[in-house]
Amino acid sequence: MADDLKKLSMTLGESLRQQGVSRRGFLKYCAATASMMALPPTMVPAIAQALEKAKRPSVIWLSFQECTGCTESLTRSHSPSVENLIFDHISLDYHHTLQVASGDAAEAAREAAMHENEGKYIVVVDGSIPLANPGYSAIAGISNLQMLEETVAGAAAVVAVGSCAAFGGLPHANPNPTGAVSVGEIVKDKPVVNVSGCPPIPTVITGVLAHFLTFGSLPELDALGRPMVFFGQSIHDRCYRRPFYDKGLFAETFDDEGARKGWCLFRLGCKGPMTYNACATAKWNQGTSWPVESGHGCLGCSEPDFWDAGGFYNALSIPDSDLTRKTGYVVGAGVALGAAAGALNRSTRAKAAAQHETVTIDDLDKKS
Protein backbone atom coordinates (compact mmCIF):
# COMPACT_ATOMS: atom_id res chain seq x y z
CA MET A 1 0.00 0.00 0.00
CA ALA A 2 2.80 2.41 0.97
CA ASP A 3 4.51 1.48 -2.27
CA ASP A 4 1.41 2.30 -4.21
CA LEU A 5 1.12 5.68 -2.56
CA LYS A 6 4.75 6.41 -3.30
CA LYS A 7 4.19 5.43 -6.89
CA LEU A 8 1.29 7.83 -7.17
CA SER A 9 3.34 10.77 -5.95
CA MET A 10 6.33 9.94 -8.18
CA THR A 11 7.10 12.13 -11.15
CA LEU A 12 7.23 10.62 -14.61
CA GLY A 13 11.03 10.76 -14.65
CA GLU A 14 11.36 8.90 -11.35
CA SER A 15 8.81 6.38 -12.41
CA LEU A 16 10.57 5.69 -15.72
CA ARG A 17 13.93 5.26 -14.00
CA GLN A 18 12.37 2.81 -11.58
CA GLN A 19 11.15 0.86 -14.60
CA GLY A 20 14.73 0.64 -15.87
CA VAL A 21 14.40 3.19 -18.69
CA SER A 22 17.78 4.87 -19.14
CA ARG A 23 18.25 8.62 -19.38
CA ARG A 24 19.45 8.03 -22.93
CA GLY A 25 16.29 6.09 -23.84
CA PHE A 26 14.16 8.79 -22.25
CA LEU A 27 15.86 11.60 -24.22
CA LYS A 28 15.53 9.56 -27.37
CA TYR A 29 11.79 9.37 -26.75
CA CYS A 30 11.69 13.13 -26.14
CA ALA A 31 13.54 13.79 -29.42
CA ALA A 32 11.19 11.46 -31.30
CA THR A 33 8.20 13.20 -29.75
CA ALA A 34 9.57 16.62 -30.72
CA SER A 35 10.15 15.62 -34.32
CA MET A 36 6.80 13.85 -34.50
CA MET A 37 5.08 17.03 -33.34
CA ALA A 38 7.16 19.11 -35.76
CA LEU A 39 8.83 21.02 -32.93
CA PRO A 40 12.37 22.37 -33.31
CA PRO A 41 15.23 20.30 -31.78
CA THR A 42 15.83 23.11 -29.28
CA MET A 43 12.58 22.08 -27.63
CA VAL A 44 13.90 18.61 -26.74
CA PRO A 45 15.47 19.67 -23.40
CA ALA A 46 12.28 21.55 -22.54
CA ILE A 47 10.20 18.46 -23.27
CA ALA A 48 12.58 16.28 -21.26
CA GLN A 49 12.47 18.70 -18.33
CA ALA A 50 8.71 19.01 -18.42
CA LEU A 51 8.14 15.27 -18.73
CA GLU A 52 10.71 14.57 -16.03
CA LYS A 53 8.86 16.71 -13.55
CA ALA A 54 5.35 15.91 -14.66
CA LYS A 55 3.06 14.20 -12.21
CA ARG A 56 1.21 11.32 -13.68
CA PRO A 57 -2.08 12.75 -14.85
CA SER A 58 -5.22 10.87 -13.99
CA VAL A 59 -6.91 9.44 -17.06
CA ILE A 60 -10.45 8.11 -17.14
CA TRP A 61 -11.18 6.03 -20.19
CA LEU A 62 -14.83 5.66 -21.19
CA SER A 63 -15.93 3.13 -23.81
CA PHE A 64 -19.35 3.60 -25.38
CA GLN A 65 -20.70 2.27 -28.70
CA GLU A 66 -17.42 0.89 -29.99
CA CYS A 67 -15.77 -2.33 -31.09
CA THR A 68 -12.74 -2.18 -28.75
CA GLY A 69 -10.53 -1.84 -31.82
CA CYS A 70 -9.21 1.47 -30.48
CA THR A 71 -8.25 -0.14 -27.17
CA GLU A 72 -6.73 -3.05 -29.08
CA SER A 73 -4.73 -0.62 -31.15
CA LEU A 74 -3.38 1.15 -28.09
CA THR A 75 -2.81 -1.69 -25.65
CA ARG A 76 -1.88 -4.63 -27.84
CA SER A 77 -0.24 -2.83 -30.72
CA HIS A 78 3.20 -4.37 -30.28
CA SER A 79 5.82 -5.36 -27.72
CA PRO A 80 6.42 -2.76 -25.02
CA SER A 81 8.22 0.33 -26.25
CA VAL A 82 9.18 3.58 -24.60
CA GLU A 83 5.83 4.88 -25.80
CA ASN A 84 4.08 2.07 -24.01
CA LEU A 85 6.00 2.87 -20.86
CA ILE A 86 4.98 6.48 -21.09
CA PHE A 87 1.47 5.25 -21.61
CA ASP A 88 1.83 3.04 -18.55
CA HIS A 89 2.88 6.06 -16.57
CA ILE A 90 -0.21 8.00 -16.90
CA SER A 91 -2.53 6.99 -14.14
CA LEU A 92 -5.20 5.11 -16.00
CA ASP A 93 -7.72 5.14 -13.19
CA TYR A 94 -10.68 3.77 -15.05
CA HIS A 95 -11.05 1.74 -18.21
CA HIS A 96 -14.20 -0.31 -18.10
CA THR A 97 -13.19 -2.70 -20.88
CA LEU A 98 -10.01 -3.58 -19.01
CA GLN A 99 -11.76 -3.50 -15.62
CA VAL A 100 -14.90 -5.28 -16.65
CA ALA A 101 -14.53 -7.97 -13.98
CA SER A 102 -14.19 -5.40 -11.21
CA GLY A 103 -17.82 -4.35 -11.26
CA ASP A 104 -18.75 -1.79 -8.62
CA ALA A 105 -15.12 -1.37 -7.59
CA ALA A 106 -14.33 0.02 -11.04
CA GLU A 107 -17.15 2.53 -10.81
CA ALA A 108 -15.93 3.53 -7.36
CA ALA A 109 -12.43 4.03 -8.80
CA ARG A 110 -13.86 6.33 -11.49
CA GLU A 111 -15.68 8.42 -8.91
CA ALA A 112 -12.62 8.54 -6.64
CA ALA A 113 -10.39 9.67 -9.51
CA MET A 114 -12.90 12.37 -10.41
CA HIS A 115 -13.04 13.75 -6.84
CA GLU A 116 -9.30 13.56 -6.18
CA ASN A 117 -8.27 15.23 -9.43
CA GLU A 118 -11.16 17.65 -9.85
CA GLY A 119 -10.47 19.96 -12.79
CA LYS A 120 -7.20 18.20 -13.67
CA TYR A 121 -7.96 14.78 -15.07
CA ILE A 122 -8.18 13.82 -18.73
CA VAL A 123 -11.17 11.92 -20.10
CA VAL A 124 -10.48 9.61 -23.01
CA VAL A 125 -13.58 8.40 -24.85
CA ASP A 126 -13.87 5.72 -27.49
CA GLY A 127 -17.22 4.97 -29.08
CA SER A 128 -20.24 7.06 -29.95
CA ILE A 129 -23.14 8.00 -27.68
CA PRO A 130 -26.68 6.81 -28.54
CA LEU A 131 -29.35 9.47 -28.10
CA ALA A 132 -32.34 7.58 -29.56
CA ASN A 133 -32.75 5.39 -26.47
CA PRO A 134 -30.39 5.36 -23.47
CA GLY A 135 -30.95 1.61 -23.21
CA TYR A 136 -29.00 0.96 -26.38
CA SER A 137 -25.76 1.29 -24.46
CA ALA A 138 -25.35 1.50 -20.70
CA ILE A 139 -22.55 0.65 -18.28
CA ALA A 140 -23.26 -0.42 -14.69
CA GLY A 141 -26.82 0.81 -15.21
CA ILE A 142 -25.66 4.27 -16.22
CA SER A 143 -26.46 5.47 -19.74
CA ASN A 144 -23.57 6.56 -21.92
CA LEU A 145 -24.88 10.11 -22.10
CA GLN A 146 -25.22 10.43 -18.32
CA MET A 147 -21.80 8.91 -17.69
CA LEU A 148 -20.14 11.22 -20.20
CA GLU A 149 -21.80 14.35 -18.82
CA GLU A 150 -20.96 13.39 -15.22
CA THR A 151 -17.36 12.48 -15.94
CA VAL A 152 -16.58 15.40 -18.19
CA ALA A 153 -17.93 17.97 -15.70
CA GLY A 154 -14.66 18.08 -13.72
CA ALA A 155 -12.24 17.22 -16.51
CA ALA A 156 -9.41 19.37 -17.81
CA ALA A 157 -9.80 18.09 -21.36
CA VAL A 158 -11.46 15.35 -23.37
CA VAL A 159 -9.73 13.20 -25.95
CA ALA A 160 -12.13 11.50 -28.38
CA VAL A 161 -10.25 8.43 -29.55
CA GLY A 162 -11.33 6.77 -32.78
CA SER A 163 -13.76 7.82 -35.49
CA CYS A 164 -16.83 6.75 -33.46
CA ALA A 165 -16.04 9.13 -30.60
CA ALA A 166 -14.72 11.84 -32.93
CA PHE A 167 -17.42 11.77 -35.64
CA GLY A 168 -19.98 9.08 -34.78
CA GLY A 169 -18.23 6.44 -36.91
CA LEU A 170 -19.93 3.16 -37.78
CA PRO A 171 -22.87 3.52 -35.34
CA HIS A 172 -23.58 6.92 -36.95
CA ALA A 173 -23.62 5.39 -40.47
CA ASN A 174 -26.83 5.73 -42.41
CA PRO A 175 -29.59 5.07 -41.18
CA ASN A 176 -28.04 5.55 -37.70
CA PRO A 177 -30.54 3.36 -35.80
CA THR A 178 -29.29 4.31 -32.33
CA GLY A 179 -29.16 8.06 -32.98
CA ALA A 180 -25.41 7.93 -32.36
CA VAL A 181 -23.52 11.20 -31.97
CA SER A 182 -19.90 12.14 -31.43
CA VAL A 183 -18.40 13.38 -28.15
CA GLY A 184 -18.01 16.87 -29.61
CA GLU A 185 -21.76 17.14 -30.13
CA ILE A 186 -22.37 16.70 -26.40
CA VAL A 187 -19.32 18.26 -24.77
CA LYS A 188 -19.34 21.95 -25.62
CA ASP A 189 -17.71 23.59 -22.59
CA LYS A 190 -14.44 21.61 -22.42
CA PRO A 191 -11.62 21.33 -24.93
CA VAL A 192 -12.17 18.22 -27.08
CA VAL A 193 -9.37 16.70 -29.14
CA ASN A 194 -10.47 14.34 -31.89
CA VAL A 195 -7.98 11.54 -32.53
CA SER A 196 -9.86 9.95 -35.41
CA GLY A 197 -9.10 6.74 -37.25
CA CYS A 198 -10.56 3.27 -37.28
CA PRO A 199 -8.53 2.61 -35.22
CA PRO A 200 -6.26 5.62 -34.65
CA ILE A 201 -2.48 5.31 -34.73
CA PRO A 202 -1.17 4.48 -31.21
CA THR A 203 1.61 7.08 -31.48
CA VAL A 204 -0.95 9.81 -32.02
CA ILE A 205 -2.67 9.31 -28.68
CA THR A 206 0.64 9.14 -26.80
CA GLY A 207 1.73 12.26 -28.73
CA VAL A 208 -1.37 14.18 -27.60
CA LEU A 209 -0.81 13.12 -23.98
CA ALA A 210 2.91 14.01 -24.17
CA HIS A 211 1.97 17.44 -25.48
CA PHE A 212 -0.43 17.91 -22.59
CA LEU A 213 2.25 16.86 -20.08
CA THR A 214 4.91 19.08 -21.65
CA PHE A 215 3.03 22.29 -22.27
CA GLY A 216 0.03 21.88 -20.01
CA SER A 217 -2.17 22.61 -23.00
CA LEU A 218 -3.62 20.77 -25.94
CA PRO A 219 -1.96 20.80 -29.37
CA GLU A 220 -3.11 23.02 -32.23
CA LEU A 221 -6.24 21.57 -33.83
CA ASP A 222 -7.62 21.55 -37.38
CA ALA A 223 -11.19 22.47 -38.39
CA LEU A 224 -12.39 19.01 -37.32
CA GLY A 225 -10.73 19.26 -33.91
CA ARG A 226 -7.82 16.95 -34.79
CA PRO A 227 -4.20 17.69 -33.80
CA MET A 228 -2.61 19.47 -36.77
CA VAL A 229 0.74 17.75 -36.24
CA PHE A 230 -0.76 14.38 -37.14
CA PHE A 231 -3.72 15.36 -39.30
CA GLY A 232 -2.25 18.39 -41.07
CA GLN A 233 -1.37 16.56 -44.25
CA SER A 234 -3.29 14.17 -46.43
CA ILE A 235 -2.38 10.56 -47.09
CA HIS A 236 -2.08 11.48 -50.79
CA ASP A 237 0.47 14.24 -50.12
CA ARG A 238 2.67 11.91 -48.10
CA CYS A 239 2.08 8.75 -50.11
CA TYR A 240 5.18 7.07 -51.49
CA ARG A 241 3.07 6.01 -54.52
CA ARG A 242 2.27 9.63 -55.35
CA PRO A 243 4.79 9.84 -58.26
CA PHE A 244 2.79 7.11 -60.03
CA TYR A 245 -0.39 9.18 -59.67
CA ASP A 246 1.40 12.13 -61.26
CA LYS A 247 2.73 9.96 -64.08
CA GLY A 248 -0.70 8.47 -64.74
CA LEU A 249 0.34 4.92 -63.79
CA PHE A 250 -2.44 3.10 -61.96
CA ALA A 251 -3.16 -0.44 -60.80
CA GLU A 252 -6.51 -1.46 -62.31
CA THR A 253 -7.01 -4.71 -60.41
CA PHE A 254 -5.42 -6.06 -57.25
CA ASP A 255 -3.34 -8.62 -59.17
CA ASP A 256 -2.34 -6.91 -62.39
CA GLU A 257 1.07 -5.74 -63.53
CA GLY A 258 0.48 -2.28 -62.05
CA ALA A 259 -0.42 -3.74 -58.63
CA ARG A 260 2.75 -5.85 -58.65
CA LYS A 261 4.83 -2.82 -59.58
CA GLY A 262 3.31 -0.80 -56.74
CA TRP A 263 1.51 1.80 -58.88
CA CYS A 264 -1.09 4.23 -57.58
CA LEU A 265 -4.31 2.72 -56.15
CA PHE A 266 -6.63 5.64 -57.00
CA ARG A 267 -8.60 3.62 -59.54
CA LEU A 268 -9.10 0.85 -56.99
CA GLY A 269 -10.85 3.28 -54.68
CA CYS A 270 -8.02 4.78 -52.60
CA LYS A 271 -9.44 7.68 -50.57
CA GLY A 272 -5.96 9.06 -49.82
CA PRO A 273 -6.60 12.43 -51.48
CA MET A 274 -9.46 13.32 -49.08
CA THR A 275 -8.03 11.67 -45.96
CA TYR A 276 -5.95 13.49 -43.37
CA ASN A 277 -3.90 11.19 -41.15
CA ALA A 278 -0.34 10.25 -40.30
CA CYS A 279 -0.39 6.63 -41.59
CA ALA A 280 1.97 7.36 -44.47
CA THR A 281 4.62 8.75 -42.14
CA ALA A 282 4.02 7.11 -38.74
CA LYS A 283 2.98 3.72 -40.23
CA TRP A 284 1.65 0.79 -38.21
CA ASN A 285 3.05 -2.12 -36.21
CA GLN A 286 6.25 -0.45 -35.15
CA GLY A 287 6.70 1.28 -38.46
CA THR A 288 6.41 -1.97 -40.42
CA SER A 289 3.85 -0.97 -43.02
CA TRP A 290 0.53 0.75 -43.66
CA PRO A 291 -2.51 -0.05 -45.85
CA VAL A 292 -1.26 1.49 -49.10
CA GLU A 293 2.17 -0.10 -48.67
CA SER A 294 0.51 -3.49 -48.28
CA GLY A 295 -1.33 -2.97 -51.57
CA HIS A 296 -4.78 -1.78 -50.47
CA GLY A 297 -6.18 1.70 -50.97
CA CYS A 298 -6.91 4.01 -48.04
CA LEU A 299 -10.51 3.71 -46.79
CA GLY A 300 -10.54 7.26 -45.42
CA CYS A 301 -11.22 5.98 -41.88
CA SER A 302 -10.11 9.16 -40.13
CA GLU A 303 -12.69 11.31 -41.94
CA PRO A 304 -16.31 11.90 -40.86
CA ASP A 305 -18.94 9.58 -42.41
CA PHE A 306 -16.37 7.46 -44.21
CA TRP A 307 -18.78 4.52 -44.09
CA ASP A 308 -21.26 6.42 -46.22
CA ALA A 309 -18.76 8.03 -48.60
CA GLY A 310 -19.38 5.63 -51.49
CA GLY A 311 -17.95 2.16 -52.07
CA PHE A 312 -14.49 1.46 -50.71
CA TYR A 313 -13.49 0.18 -54.15
CA ASN A 314 -14.97 3.05 -56.19
CA ALA A 315 -12.58 5.78 -57.32
CA LEU A 316 -12.99 9.03 -55.39
CA SER A 317 -14.16 10.84 -58.54
CA ILE A 318 -17.16 8.54 -59.02
CA PRO A 319 -20.52 9.72 -57.68
CA ASP A 320 -21.85 7.28 -55.14
CA SER A 321 -25.01 6.01 -56.73
CA ASP A 322 -26.00 3.37 -59.27
CA LEU A 323 -25.20 5.56 -62.24
CA THR A 324 -25.39 3.11 -65.12
CA ARG A 325 -28.98 2.18 -64.23
CA LYS A 326 -29.92 5.82 -63.55
CA THR A 327 -28.35 6.95 -66.82
CA GLY A 328 -30.50 4.39 -68.60
CA TYR A 329 -33.68 5.80 -67.04
CA VAL A 330 -32.62 9.38 -67.68
CA VAL A 331 -31.84 8.68 -71.35
CA GLY A 332 -35.22 6.95 -71.67
CA ALA A 333 -36.97 9.96 -70.12
CA GLY A 334 -35.03 12.35 -72.38
CA VAL A 335 -35.87 10.40 -75.53
CA ALA A 336 -39.58 10.23 -74.59
CA LEU A 337 -39.77 13.95 -73.78
CA GLY A 338 -37.73 14.86 -76.87
CA ALA A 339 -39.97 12.76 -79.10
CA ALA A 340 -43.05 14.35 -77.54
CA ALA A 341 -41.63 17.86 -78.09
CA GLY A 342 -40.71 16.93 -81.67
CA ALA A 343 -44.18 15.56 -82.35
CA LEU A 344 -45.75 18.71 -80.90
CA ASN A 345 -43.59 20.89 -83.14
CA ARG A 346 -44.49 18.81 -86.19
CA SER A 347 -48.18 19.05 -85.45
CA THR A 348 -47.83 22.84 -84.96
CA ARG A 349 -46.13 23.04 -88.32
CA ALA A 350 -48.74 20.82 -90.00
CA LYS A 351 -51.54 22.89 -88.46
CA ALA A 352 -49.89 26.09 -89.68
CA ALA A 353 -49.57 24.61 -93.17
CA ALA A 354 -53.23 23.49 -93.15
CA GLN A 355 -54.43 26.91 -92.06
CA HIS A 356 -52.28 28.68 -94.60
CA GLU A 357 -54.37 30.76 -96.98
CA THR A 358 -53.05 31.76 -100.35
CA VAL A 359 -53.31 35.47 -100.86
CA THR A 360 -53.16 37.00 -104.30
CA ILE A 361 -52.65 40.64 -105.23
CA ASP A 362 -56.31 40.79 -106.18
CA ASP A 363 -57.31 39.66 -102.67
CA LEU A 364 -55.20 42.38 -101.14
CA ASP A 365 -56.69 44.96 -103.50
CA LYS A 366 -60.20 43.91 -102.52
CA LYS A 367 -59.41 44.26 -98.82
CA SER A 368 -58.01 47.75 -99.12
- Residue number, 191 or 232, with CB nearest to another protein: 232
3-state secondary structure of 39: coil
Give which of 151, 164, 146, 145 is closest to 93, Cα–Cα: 151
Nearest-approach distance from CB 110 to another protein, in angstroms = 28
Stretch that binds another protein, among 64-72, 80-88, 147-155, 326-334 (CB under 8 A): 326-334
**Contact between 334 and another protein (CB under 8 A)?**
yes
Nearest-approach distance from CB 215 to another protein, in angstroms = 25
How far is residue 9's CA from residue 111's CA, in Å, rounded to a whole number? 19
Residue 181, C-beta contacts closer than 8 angstroms, at least 6 positions apart: 128, 129, 131, 168, 172
**Contact between 140 and another protein (CB under 8 A)?**
no
Nearest-approach distance from CB 19 to another protein, in angstroms = 41
Query: What is the footprint of another protein within residues 225-264 (CB under 8 A)?
Result: 234, 236-237, 245-248, 250
Q: Is 198 annotated as a binding residue?
A: yes
**Contact between 302 and another protein (CB under 8 A)?**
no
- Residue number, 223 or 354, with CB nearest to another protein: 223
Among 67, 131, 259, 274, binds another protein (CB under 8 A): 274
Residue 176, burial from CB neighbour count under 10 angstroms (0-12, 13-18, 19+):
middle
Query: What is the footprint of another protein within residues 145-204 (CB under 8 A)?
Result: 167-168, 182, 184-185
Query: What is the footprint of another protein within residues 207-226 (CB under 8 A)?
Result: 222-224
Judge contact between 18 and 60, C-beta under 8 A.
Answer: no
First to last CA, the chain: 124
Among 22, 220, 342, 350, binds another protein (CB under 8 A): 342
Give which of 216, 227, 164, 163 is closest to 192, Cα–Cα: 227
User: Quick one: three-class SS letters along 151-183?
Assistant: HHCCCCEEEEEHHHHHHCHHHHCCCCCCCEECH
Q: Is 30 annotated as a binding residue?
A: no
Judge contact between 90 and 55, C-beta under 8 A.
Answer: no
How far is residue 52's CA from residue 231's CA, in Å, rounded to a whole number? 27
Nearest-approach distance from CB 315 to another protein, in angstroms = 4
Q: Is 164 annotated as a binding residue?
A: yes
Nearest-approach distance from CB 139 to another protein, in angstroms = 25
**Contact between 276 and another protein (CB under 8 A)?**
yes
Strand order in the sheet with 192-195: 91-95, 58-63, 122-126, 157-161, 192-195
Nearest-approach distance from CB 122 to another protein, in angstroms = 23
Among 45, 103, 216, 338, binds another protein (CB under 8 A): 338
Judge contact between 109 and 94, C-beta under 8 A.
Answer: yes
Judge contact between 236 and 201, C-beta under 8 A.
Answer: no
Residues of the shown chain interacting with another protein in the complex, contacts defined by CB under 8 A: 167-168, 182, 184-185, 222-224, 234, 236-237, 245-248, 250, 266-267, 273-274, 276, 303-305, 308-310, 314-321, 323-324, 326-327, 330-331, 333-335, 337-339, 341-343, 345-346, 349
Please give the annotated binding residues, written as ranges. 67, 70, 164, 198, 236, 239, 264, 270, 279, 298, 301
